[in-house]
Structure 1
Amino acid sequence: MRILIVTDAWHPQVNGVVRTLTETRRELVHFGHRVDMITPQDFRTLPCPTYPDIRLALFPYGRVAKTIRDLAPDAIHIATEGPLGLAARRYCLRQGLQFTTAYHTRFPEYIHARIRLPLSLSYAWMRRFHGASAAVMVPTRSVADDLIARGFTNVVLWGRGVDTELFTPGERDRLDESRPPRFVYIGRVAVEKNIEAFLKLDLPGSKWVVGDGPLLARLKAHYPDVHFAGVFPQAELARFYRAADVFVFPSLTDTFGLVLLEAMACGTPVAAYPVAGPRDVVGDSGAGALDDDLRRACLAALAIDREHVRQIAERFSWTSAARQFERHLHPNTQPEPGAADSAALTDDALQ
């Protein structure tokens, strides 16, 4: 099958959406499919307001339309709600083409955190965007339940995986001369990640932040005792995960949190709030501590057996996740889906 994926998030961005699409594309090619991409790399772009590392395509409709016509894909997947996603959606609707979408990111909550736009307005827009798709793929059942409660009617599950060969237990770096225990956060340094909830905690040992983002300079100035390591390529992150005694995930808005799995694959227990993402990935597996009191979660996670944490991470596979994605595609050789088909919530289990 010839599959087209349209995404506003792509390399050189470093985030969970890019990683998910990269791994999914690799698996789909391994299955024997041809996978083409429409990404910002092929367009003139401008920086996203409040987040200049993200580049947004300028006036992409004509080129997007021509690319879809020329490729004539069997199945179209629109991964993001940005300019490229909007252009592809518009073309598909005009031409009567089926497509699927994905809900990777809680944009309503992110926008609200930045400019206080009421959630009701942004969720109304999101319902309209995704309501035209044959299926909107979401990473966990918690997110599916949230969207269904907000009036989404075409939700299916598409899980996530982890590279258990890249992220693996091994020698634990001392991270300079910082004091143990070491509490480590890895990810975007941005307001929606709620990082200050971690940095404000009174914890023994030392705190580390690995990553970059618009809040980095301010947090460095406000928390001089925290070790800010900067940004590293994915291949080098495993040493930070392994060095951590606890991986701290303070976000309240992530739909999944691939970094949770990466930490767990390295044997590092997780401390997080009991919200969507940690609740679905860690839950009651014993691979971490979830608590409304993040300090209490951090201290409890110190006692967790690292070998058990690794065993839980091994349940998650990119191959299984890509097979879910493949099953949810709607090739345009099929008739238009009926209401029952597009509204169904599958029972695909996260693996």
Structure 2
Amino acid sequence: MAQDLAVSLPSAGLLVSLYALGVAVGAPVLTALTGKWPRKQVLLAVMSLFVAGNLLAWQAPSYETLVGARILTGLAHGVFFSIGSTIATGLVAKEKAASAIAIMFTGLTVALVTGVPLGTYIGQHFGWETTFLVVAILGLIALIGSAVLVPSNLKQAPATKISEQVKVLTEPRLLLVYAITAIGYGGSFTAFTFLASILQDVSGFNASAISLIMLVYGVSVAFGNIWGGKMADRLGPTKALSWIFLGLASVLLVFNFTAVNPITAVLTILVWGAFAFGNVPGLQVYVVKLAEQYTPNAVDVASGLNIAAFNVGIAIGAWGGGLIVANAGVEHTPWVGALIVVGALLLTRLSAALDNKQKQSAKSELCQAA
């Protein structure tokens, strides 16, 4: 791609960062601006924007056009997952909310780990432009599916001013969950960003074997997402997140020792996949739950900010992991990532304690009123 567009490799890599920036901005900002629109209309509009952006990238005559297309699709992506979470929870009973979000996010999490090898294969055999065409076709299928299957009478939040929606940014309980999301994902991606390098340089796998391992990892991710959603429904978000973060930190720490052996490395990676994205449903349903309690007029915006927090965590984890690789070596990223995930675990327990304190206060007030 860099050679075809006559740009440097870092400039080509910037296309990934700009897409993530589009997601981070689009999730909260555009979700707030479209708050008065019917949810299905917004869903179909952003899917149309996503398809158009990828078609533009497919036919981009210059690097500048491709940059614009990537930002456009990133903005659409952010809004899609913001409102998608609240749409999913609104279509099922409250006790199945996390499972509904898990099903929705399974596509995203599998795409994160399978999209790279599949996209690389398409790019190598048919040209990088064709990759965007394939994504546009997949987006069109999703657009048609949404138009046909998503009901039109979705629950619509009352129209509110932008100033009321901005209150999400000042609500301490929501900010705490955003920190949990960013730190939890930052820890995981400190190591995951360099997983291919670990498998090659430490475990001794070749490139073709690494691609296969990443695909198997994707299957584990899908399982973990569904499993994490069911756990969050059964135990509640904070209990489920506590167990998942504990498991994730433990697996990353163990991987620091098992990575040297090909067999134990693969076995550990399979377990890692189940824990790495098992927290997505719990985190998202927890944000929606707290938003309904503290900022009921800005639930979609609160959901969008958590999507932004995911991307911030991924970006910071990749950046921090790069520093570790440059100064200590790629083999040190797993245990450092484990320590960061422990931070997310501690914040989760703090949030759970605040929930319990709030419940006790509510019970005391009821007793006094009686």
More helix by share: 2
Q: Give the TM-score, by structure 1 length.
A: 0.26
* Higher RCO, 1 vs 2 (CA within 8 Å, ≥6 residues apart): 2
Q: Give the TM-score, by structure 2 length.
A: 0.25
